[in-house]
Structure 1
Amino acid sequence: MNHPTITDALEDPAGTGESGRKKIEWARQHMPIMTSIDEDFGSERPLEGETIAMAMHVEAKTAVLTEVLAEAGADVAITGCNPLSTHDDVSAALDRHDAITSYAKHGVDDEEYYAAIEATLDHEPTVTVDDGGDLVMAIHEEHPELIDSILGGCEETTTGVHRLRAMDDDGELHYPMFAVNDTPMKRLFDNVHGTGEASLSNIAMTTNLSFAGKTVVVAGYGYCGKGVAKKAKGQNAHVVVTEVEPRRALEAHMEGYEVRPMAEAAEEGDIFVTTTGNRDVIVEEHFERMTDGAVLANAGHFNVEIDLDSLDDLAVARSEVRDGIEAFEMPDGRRLNVLAEGRLVNLASPVAMGHPIEVMDQSFGIQAVCVREMVEHAESYGPGVHGVPDELDREVAEIKLDAEGIGIDALSDEQAEYMNSWQHGT
């Protein structure tokens, strides 16, 4: 089937692609890890002859990863993993690369979204790179004939890894996938600092409100929730954490946050940020308790964390009160404000730029070396979810330290022997 690319869909593709190219080049200037990997990949061409299908947030940092994979010898077909996170100008710039076809377009409906995923699969990929799992699900559910020719793939985010592990547990994941989200160089920086900073900065820019003196309710205290809570506290907000996992709740308590059930937190929160990756985190009973003017944002993944259907049913009116903010008026006159249609606020709000460049340099460095690993050593990995080999994680960390001019110590032979021996005592 002949699917239209982003260039086909735009009225002024030349102008749009030029502005996207500027964004990509700005990102490249601040991505030393990807620059180093690009130099190695460009000379070694480790992906020669491979076809990569990608479903990612198509913006400037992702574009750098996409081009690095293409310069390594791969043909790349890319689309978005969220209807509102694509930057059309960046997508158009990518589509002008001889080895890249982009189907990503901002503001698509569900039918167009899944048609674009289908378009990437028409390229018959040998490797998949995913953010959220939609690409892998489409292959297994709609195109199982592709599985035998796929070497493996990589998954970027918490939600996608959860879905893959559920597939794996059911014996339904039929090719190897690296859980990029779970490796330290991704989880400790992207999830904590990336999600924390990007979510709050986009909430602030969208609303033009301050966090200082407000009560910020953070739903979920995983790595993303920790980042949001930490950054909000740093901006002088009072932070309340809600959790379903007792050890994470206790951790939040011991780190100085107030921990409450959502039903109680709903009564005092000014700004709510969901970070769970699960559905129905804020529902009807919570809407009924919220104060006038409450702001609701999602920093998890899919737009199911806030029950928008129930909120719509409760509302007597709804209107766009500011670009990217929809107010739902309750029968008693209270207004509850939803940002970015309940989608990822750091990527789907009108001013969204995603995570900071330096953070994504690390995450996409891991993605790049994992794609190389899967191509070069696919026979070492059976179907299922695999952790990123520690030596790859360390490789990316060492590149970053070198780029920052940071030196560290090394274990002496005696120290290494001591640490690896069970025979040494006190």
Structure 2
Amino acid sequence: MTDTITARLSDPATARESGHQKMDWAREHMPILAALREEYQADQPFAGERIGMAMHVEAKTAVLAELLAEGGAEVAITGCNPLSTHDDVSAALDAHENVVSYAERGVDDEAYYAAIEAVIGHEPTITVDDGMDLVAAIHEDYPELIDTIVGGCEETTTGVHRLRAMAEDGALEYPVFAVNDTPMKRLFDNVHGTGESVLASIAMTTNLSYAGKTVVVGGYGDCGKGLAKKAAGQNARVIVTEVEPRRALEAHMEGYEVMPMQEAAKEGDVFVTTTGNRDVITREDFEVMKDGVLLANAGHFDVEVDLDALADLAVDTFEARDGVRAYEMADGRELNVLAEGRLVNLATPIALGHPVEVMDQSFGVQAVCVRELVESGDEYGPGVHDVPDELDREVAEIKLDAEGVAYDDLTDDQAEYMGTWQHGT
């Protein structure tokens, strides 16, 4: 079994102290998880469960893992991206008596998948995934464990897409909640979280402004919408590229310029892909880009910017700045790739991911979905399931209460009116 992160650090004590400091700060700003922690510590709903997690191991995720452990579970966790782990946070988590962390930043593919196998070695009864690598590995290599798995939760758009494709092929053999698709995740995490954290990460990594620049957003789903809105708010000209006509029309009606990537490639100063698909920016685009452009990916996997084609075109590559690799073209132009084309808001050297308050909401949904699996997992068959609306509302209610926000309730007459077809003009 792979060594835990603690065994691989030269100074584990210092790392743990730093990690706990980050977790303490996050915990103070996560009222949803605080409320659930109080409930779960008292009720111990996860006693006897083994929860396997493959997620971005940083402070907010650590607070979720800690919550599940303090609710009675044995938790084994690793990363879902080779560059998104904070080693100090991973070490702090590994010090928890009910948590084992295998997550380490900067590992190669072999070590990355070895860590996932180490988590699977704990024989989880519930999986919590971000990108579906854990679910895929279990189905492909450890199918004998499936009968003892109650179900899983999937955090991100890419993972849900993969799971739905798997379910359509009849290959998904246990229930998984599409946490990404529920309103408390999608409307806040994808829109506000992605928009704010991506732009902040790029700005901190490059020390450059958006004002007066042209930002090209590849894809106008929830993440693209948030990114376009936030970039426009920082006085950038925004161009959107899309393959789906209704989303392209929506972007146009929102006031953004819409054009094919090949045309946008000539205009942009900053390019950010948000599609979850491959080859969004390709060789033909690189050939017409301006000198000094920034290329970043806000999708889950590092396939949206064709780095192989870019490397093939380059006559030289070098580190222009920590977290920025410059590719020099034959004509002297330099195209700059952030975070090796990986998830830019989590994989740059100083990336912090989504704002704490946003992830409190998303991870609140994760926490209640895990509880639902333990309490009622037998009611869900194999496949991808929407999060029950009452669970999503529960998380929203906790957040509003913590914020001191009051709201109206339907009267009995209003509820009756909305529930019947018999009222006419």
Distance 2:205 2:352 in 1: 12
Partner of 2:349: 350
Q: What does 1:191-202 align with in structure 2 at a 5 Å threshold?
A: 191-202=190-201
Superposed counterparts of 1:122-271, under 5 Å: 122-271=121-270
Partner of 1:72: 71
Secondary structure, aligned partner of 1:241: strand
Partner-residue secondary structure (3-state), 1:266: helix
| Residue matched to 2:405 | 406
Q: Return 5+ residue gaps in structure 2 as ranges.
A: none
SS of 2:100's partner is strand
Q: Shift of the alpha carbon at 1:382?
A: 0.1
What is the rounded CA distance, in whole Å, between the counterparts of 1:45 and 1:216 in structure 2? 48
Aligned to 2:303: 304
SS at match of 2:266: coil
3-state SS of 1:251 partner: helix
Distance 1:200 1:144 in 2: 41
Secondary structure of the structure 2 residue equivalent to 1:78: strand
- Aligned equivalents of 1:10, 1:264: Cα separation in 2: 48
Residue 35 of structure 2 aligns with an amino acid whose one-letter code is: S
Cα deviation code 1:354-376 (max 9, x no counterpart): 00000000000000000000111
Give the letter aligned to residue 244 of structure 1. Answer: V
TM score, norm. by length of structure 1: 1.00
Deviations 1:179-233 (A, max 9, x none): 0000000000000000000000000000111000000000000000001000000
**Counterpart-to-counterpart distance in 2, 1:395 and 1:425:** 33
Matched, 1:359 2:358: yes
1:16-40 Cα distance to aligned partner (Å, 9 max, x none): 0110000001000000000000000
* Pairing 1:269-308 to 2, within 5 Å after superposition: 269-308=268-307
SS of corresponding position for 2:238: strand
Q: How does 1:32-111 map to 2 (within 5 A)?
A: 32-111=31-110
Offset from partner CA, 1:91-130 (integer Å, 9 cap, x none): 0000000000000000000000000000000000000000
SS of the equivalent of 1:118 reads helix
Task: Find the residue that maps to 2:396 and give its secondary structure.
Answer: helix
Shift of 1:3: 2.0
RMSD: 0.4
Alignment TM-score, normalising by the size of structure 2: 1.00
In the aligned structure 2, how far is the partner of 1:398 from the partner of 1:425?
33
State the alpha-carbon separation in 1 of the partners of residues 358 and 57 from structure 2.
16
Q: What is the CA distance between 1:330 and its match in structure 2?
A: 0.4
Residue-pair matches, total: 425
What is the distance in 2 between the residues matched to 1:56 and 1:42? 23
Secondary structure (helix, strand or coil) at the match of 1:366 reads: helix
CA shift for structure 1 position 146: 0.7
**CA offsets 1:30-70 (integer angstroms, 9 cap, x no match):** 00000000000010000000000000000000000000000
% identical aligned pairs: 74
Cα distance, 1:420 vs structure 2:
0.4
Secondary structure, aligned partner of 2:267: coil
SS in 2 for 1:320: strand
The alpha carbon displacement at 1:425 in A equals 1.0
Gaps of 5+ in 1: none
- Could you tell me how far apart the structure 2 residues matched to 1:375 and 1:246 are? 41
> Which residue of structure 2 lines up, in the alignment, with residue 395 of structure 1?
394
